[in-house]
Amino acid sequence: MPNHEVIHGCEFEGVARTQSLFSMLDLGAYPALIAGDNAIRGELYQVNDNALRRLDGFERVPELYRRSQTSMDNGTRAWLYLLNVDAFEPVTLKERPVVPDGDWAQWMRNP
């Protein structure tokens, strides 16, 4: 995806899926995870402390997102970024499309 350079040098571990604890919203130029009851599909990377700080800056933690650990469907733990819903009007979020299968890359190919 267009912002992949942010994790340049991080080791790709594979495709992963979260447990069914989230919903993915389409905010236009980017996705946003909120609490829900869907699994989210994405890529899992091994990151060091410097990369994590870089990602936090890119994701505008804590203004826009907050970093949170979650369990993946295979039992491993991973960091992800949840939308800081307090930064948005509730009506605005309710109007955004939900990515039904939690797969942003697939959604962008077939909106």
Q: Total structural domains in the chain?
A: 1
Residue 35 is part of which domain span?
Answer: 4-109
Nearest Cα to Cα of residue 26 among 85, 79, 102: 102
Query: pTM to 2 decimals?
Result: 0.90
pLDDT tens digit at each of 111 positions of the chain: 677 889 989 999 999 999 999 999 999 989 999 999 999 999 999 999 999 999 999 999 999 999 999 999 988 999 999 999 998 887 788 899 999 899 999 999 986
SS (H, E, C) 11-62: EEEEEEEECCCEEEEECCCCEEEEECCECCEEEEEECCHHHHHHHHHHCCCC
CATH of the domain at 66: 3.10.490.10
